[in-house]
Amino acid sequence: SSYCYLGLSFLERPLWCIRMQKPELCDSDLYPSFPIPYLQTHTNLGLELLFLAPLLTDASLAAFSLGHRALEAPLQRTLVVLLGLSVLDIIYAYSTPNSWIRMAPYWRICLVACYSQFLSPQLRIIRRMIPQLLSTFALVIIFLFGFAWFGCILFPLIGAGADGNEEGNIYFHGVPGALWSLLILLTTANFPDVMMPAYTQHRASVLFFLAFIVIGLYFLMPMTLGIVFSELTKAKERHAAESQAIQDENLKDAFQLLDDSNDAVQGELTIQQMLQLFDELNKYQDIQWIDEAVQTTVFEKLDSEHSDTIDEQEFLQLCNVLSDKFDHISKETFFQKHCPNSASLAEQIVFHRAFELTVDSVLAINGIVLLVQTANVIEGTTKDVWPGLSKSPIFVVLEVCFMVFFSAEVVLKIAVLGVKYWGSVQNRFDFLCTGASLLASILVETQLAGGNRIASRLALQLRLLRLLRLLELM
C-alpha cells in the first residue's frame, strides 16, 4: 500500500500546474507529460484514502494489541505521526480543492522509507554516521567558500574596478553565484567554459582554476570518498553488532521464560517445549511457516550435543537455523506429488549439463537471428541490408519456436524446483526476460502493435531482453 500511495505522485496533476491556475500548461509541449492521463482531484483523494486505509488499519491494530508499547520504538512513533499528517493533508486538500499547497508527496516518500525493510535500516546507519562526517563536510564547505571569495576578488564585476571583466558578471557574480559555479566545476561539467572569459583577458588566470581542480578534484574528493566509505563500513559493523546483541538478549529472555515453566531438568528445554514454541511461532505471519517435518529437523540441528535437550547456548542459534533451514530441507513440489514418474524424468532433464548447454546454444542462435532482422538499424540505414532475407517467413517460424522453447524451459524449471525456483536471482532474471519477450512476441505475432511505431519498437526491445541471459555465461 505504501508503494501504491507513492505511485500516485506520477498520476496526479503537478502542484506547479495548480499554482499557476493554467491547466492547459500541463498538456503543453513545454512541460511534457508523456501522454500520462492525470487523475481528477476527487478520484485522486479517493485513491489516497484507499491506499492509506491498510496502513491506518495496521497502526490501529498494533496500538490495540500492544497498547502504549506500540509507540515505544522511534520508528513506530514516526509512522503514527506521518499517517496523521497524511490524513490531515487529505482533509485539507478536500476542503480547499483549488489550493496548490500539499505535503502529501513528501509524506509518501517518508512512509515508504519507514515501511521498507531495506531503506529503513540503511537510513538509520546513515543517520548514525553523520556526526563523524561533519568535520569532513565542513572542510569541503570552507574550501569552496574560500575559493569563491577569492574568485570574487580576483574577477570583479565590470564597473567595480579597472580590471572588471565578463568572468565576474557571468560566473562570479557575488559569493553565492561563485559557489554555484565552483560546485559545478568540482564535477568538471562546466570546464573549460567557466574560465574562458578570464583566460581570454589574462592567461595567468588559469592558475586559479588549475589550483582549484587539482586540490578539489584530485585530493579533496578522493579523501572525502575514502572517509565516507570508511565511516559507512564502521557504521554497518556497529549496526550489525548491536542487532546481534539485541537478538541474543531477546533469545536469552525467551529461554528463561521457557525454562521457568520447565518441570524437567533446569537450564535445558525438551523437545515437547520446542515443538510448542514452533506452534506458537506459526501464529505470526512475519515468520515463515514451520511444518511438523521441519520442526523435528530444526530441533536436531539445534541439538549439537545430541542430548535430546536444548541448552541456552544452543537456543541462541535458533534464528540462524530458522533463516537457513529451507535451503537444506527438500519439499515435494505439486508436480512431484501428482506425477512422480514424469517429475523424475523432468528432474533428469533439468539437472543434466546438456540442458543448460542447449539453452545457451539456442540463445546464441536467437542472437544471430535478431542481428539479421535488425541489420539496417545496426548499419544506420533505412534500406534492407540483406533484401528479402530479413523479411523472410522463416524468421516468423523461428520466433515462434524460440518463444515456445524458452517458455517451456521456464515452466519445466518451475515444475521441478517449485518454490525454490524463485529463490535464485538468476531464475527470476530468466523469468523476467522470458516473460517480457513472450509479451513482445504476442504483440507482434497477433498484430496488436501493428500501426503503432512506439509499440513496435517497445516489442523489439522487450524481445532483445532475452539476449541479456547470455551475460550469465560471463
pLDDT of residue 291: 76
pLDDT tens-digit profile of 292-339?
Answer: 777 888 888 888 888 888 888 888 888 888 776 544 444 566 666 777
Are 386 and 372 a contacting pair, CB within 8 Å?
Answer: yes
Q: Residue 462: how many CB atoms within 10 A of its CB?
A: 19
Residue 148 banded pLDDT, cuts 50, 70, 90:
very high
pLDDT of residue 328: 45
Q: Using CA atoms, how far apart are residues 194 and 264, in angstroms rounded to an integer?
A: 81
Q: Using CA atoms, how far apart are residues 52 and 185, in angstroms rounded to an integer?
A: 44
Nearest to 402 by CA among 374, 361, 459, 349: 361
Which one-letter DSSP state was computed for residue 307?
S
pLDDT tens-digit profile of 379-405?
Answer: 777 777 666 665 677 877 887 888 888
Q: Using CA atoms, how far apart are residues 443 and 27, in angstroms rounded to an integer?
A: 29
pLDDT tens-digit profile of 88-127?
Answer: 988 888 888 777 788 888 888 888 888 887 787 788 788 8
Nearest to 467 by CA among 441, 445, 434, 422: 434
214-231 average pLDDT score? 90
pLDDT of residue 446: 66
pLDDT tens-digit profile of 26-38?
Answer: 666 666 666 667 7
pLDDT tens-digit profile of 223-282?
Answer: 989 988 988 888 888 888 888 898 889 888 888 888 887 776 777 888 888 888 888 888
pLDDT of residue 179: 92
Asked whether the predicted pLDDT for residue 423 surpasses 60, the reply is: yes
pLDDT tens-digit profile of 16-71?
Answer: 777 766 666 666 666 666 666 777 778 888 888 898 898 889 888 888 887 777 77
Are 346 and 414 a contacting pair, CB within 8 Å?
Answer: no
pLDDT of residue 334: 67
Q: Which three cell numbers stand for residue 89?
A: 493533508
Asked whether the predicted pLDDT for residue 357 surpasses 90, the reply is: no
Report helix, strand or coil for 12: strand
pLDDT of residue 327: 46
